[in-house]
Structure 1
Amino acid sequence: MFLVDSHCHLDGLDYQSLHENVDDVLAKAAARDVKFFLAVATTLDGYRGMRELVGERENVAFSCGVHPLHQEEEYDVEALRRLAAEPGVVAMGETGLDYFYTPETKPRQQASFRNHIRIGRELNKPVIVHTRDAREDTLAILRDEKVTECGGVLHCFTEDRQTAEKLLDMGFYISFSGIVTFRNAEQLRDAARYVPLDRMLVETDSPYLAPVPHRGKENQPAMTRDVAEYMAVLKGVSVEELAVATTKNFADLFHIPPSRLQSIV
């Protein structure tokens, strides 16, 4: 079986007490059939540091972007464009809108979100979108900026079925994290049942949001397996079938050659 952690922050894990190094993290994941990883940046300095930490690996791809919660200061849009064009970068982001924590930066968040989509269209790289308490503005900006030209994924999906429908109509993929296993997430489970298997990804968003039964612990890429097993039950398919579908979806969305995945044992 071959699972992909479509969204993890490899630079945020506990390398002091839980993991020896990146090799250790990826080996623990591989032992549970999680064999490919998208390492997601939240700042430009963080992107640079993560590339240095992880190095060049056949089983890790990168995103480059500035998270909506990191808009305290303006960043250099040309630097974003230049870094996002580097080899190994398959996506823009994570980007998007978060009005829950920092509503005071709304205008800057919106401008940043638009920049990411525009660069994604220029470079033919999909956008990884974060949204919280900003559904209508998120959907409006995606439409305004013609996101269908580069595609994207709403990561760590926590919205309802109606929002999923609107995203699917735009050609978006929808990614589910450990939140789907939480007791109070019935609305999310309803959306997960609705999203077709051919438009679905799985992720950890590690080190955050560890799935049941690991809540309260640090999340890590190995726990993609827990999310996949839970999602398979929700969808009424085997975990093997879900793994095949989500891995194909990942490769299609992020333009990963099948030969690259097939070379990974």
Structure 2
Amino acid sequence: MLFDTHAHLNADQFEEDVADVIRRAQVEGVSNIVVVGFDEKTIKGALRLAEEYDFIYAAVGWHPVDAIDMKDEHIAWLEELASHPKVVALGEMGLDYYWDKSPKDIQKEVFRRQIQLAKKVKLPIIIHNRDAHEDIVKILKEENASEVGGIMHCFAGSYEIAKQCIDMNFYISFGGPVTFKNAKRPKEVVKNLPLDRLLIETDCPYLAPHPYRGKRNEPSYVKLVAETIAEIKEMTYEEVVEITNQNAKKLFAIK
């Protein structure tokens, strides 16, 4: 049973047909989905879906691009939501040096505050990292994020960075880009990655896998990610599905 550890079914792109998208995922063997909220609107959407579907869970956090908009009451709200029975992680959080809406110092402060909150509420964290590998690792170390661990979502770094994250109790998750023909680095990381630290995701509606590249992504396509990983690892598809499912359930404490 496939576990999509990172989906944005709360995005506007799914407003018209989210029920159909969820049905298609079930038909393709998706047994669990974590819907990730990263600002007020998407957090509410993630919770709504998690409450409506028993196999959907929510992660709640504040995106680094919007760090400048985060207020003290948002941190208090996240703390309150952490006790919701369907909330399994805090995030996505981290650093994004591609977009320049939020200054780096504000991003770092908001990131640190969320790690500190995760340690307080004892939930794993989901990391968004865009062009910020060194600073992400540095902050995770300084804040002792290994206490809660979590996911390096849609990982795009080197194996050296992955290894440092694994040593801090993090899982490495791959989505659509690992299926691209020119994706040498992600494929290399997958090849070397210990199986007990591997996760799969879609990050839908973004980053659709081959052959849907450039189109709207959806949870049913996580199957294509698992198939590609099976090829790289020279394993059966069923083995990859079983291992990544167990890893996700262990991380999110889902029985």
Compute the TM-score of the two structures, normalised by the length of structure 1.
Answer: 0.91
Q: Which residue number in structure 1 is paired with residue 184 of structure 2?
A: 186
Check the 8 A contact 1:13/1:220 in 2, yes or no.
no
Residue 67 of structure 1 and its aligned partner are, at CA, apart by 0.7
Moved over 4 A (4+): none
Give the secondary-structure state (helix, strand or coil) at the position aligned to 2:37: coil
Q: Taking structure 1 as reference, are residues 185 and 238 closer, same or farther at Cα in structure 2, changes over 3 Å only? A: same
Give the distance between the partners of 2:11 and 2:40, measured in 1 at CA. Answer: 15
Q: Which residue number in structure 2 is paired with residue 70 of structure 1?
A: 66
Residue 69 of structure 1 and its aligned partner are, at CA, apart by 1.1
Cα deviations across residues 133-158 of structure 1 (Å, max 9, x unaligned)?
11111001101111111111100000
Task: Give 1:72's aligned amino acid.
Answer: I
Q: Which residue number in structure 2 is paired with residue 11 of structure 1?
A: 10
Check the 8 A contact 1:3/1:243 in 2, yes or no.
yes
Residue 93 of structure 1 and its aligned partner are, at CA, apart by 0.3
Residue 52 of structure 1 and its aligned partner are, at CA, apart by 2.7
Cα RMSD between the aligned structures? 1.5
**Quick one: percent identity of the two aligned structures?**
38
Q: Which residue number in structure 2 is paired with residue 50 of structure 1?
A: 46
Give the secondary-structure state (helix, strand or coil) at the position aligned to 1:250: helix
Check the 8 A contact 1:13/1:206 in 2, yes or no.
no
Q: Which residue number in structure 1 is paired with residue 28 of structure 2?
A: 32
Give the distance between the partners of 2:164 and 2:101, measured in 1 at CA. Answer: 24
1:98 paired to 2:89: no
Task: Give 1:176's aligned amino acid.
Answer: F
Counterparts of 1:145-184 in structure 2 under 5 Å?
A: 145-184=143-182
Name whichever of 73-82 and 3-12 sits farther off: 73-82
Counterparts of 1:243-262 in structure 2 under 5 Å?
A: 243-257=241-255
Cα deviations across residues 147-198 of structure 1 (Å, max 9, x unaligned)?
1111111000001111111111112100000011122210111111111111
Residue 74 of structure 1 and its aligned partner are, at CA, apart by 2.7
Question: How many residue pairs are counted as aligned between the two chains?
Answer: 253
**2:109 corresponds to which of 111, 115, 118:** 111
Residue 87 of structure 1 and its aligned partner are, at CA, apart by 2.0
Q: Which residue number in structure 1 is paired with residue 205 of structure 2?
A: 207
Q: Which residue number in structure 2 is paired with residue 82 of structure 1?
A: 80
Check the 8 A contact 1:100/1:132 in 2, yes or no.
yes
Query: Structure 1 unaligned runs (5+)?
Result: 258-265
Q: Which residue number in structure 2 is paired with residue 261 of structure 1?
A: none
Check the 8 A contact 2:61/2:114 in 1, yes or no.
yes
Residue 224 of structure 1 and its aligned partner are, at CA, apart by 0.4
Give the distance between the partners of 1:254 and 1:72, measured in 2 at CA. Answer: 29
Q: Which residue number in structure 2 is paired with residue 128 of structure 1?
A: 126
Give the secondary-structure state (helix, strand or coil) at the position aligned to 1:72: helix
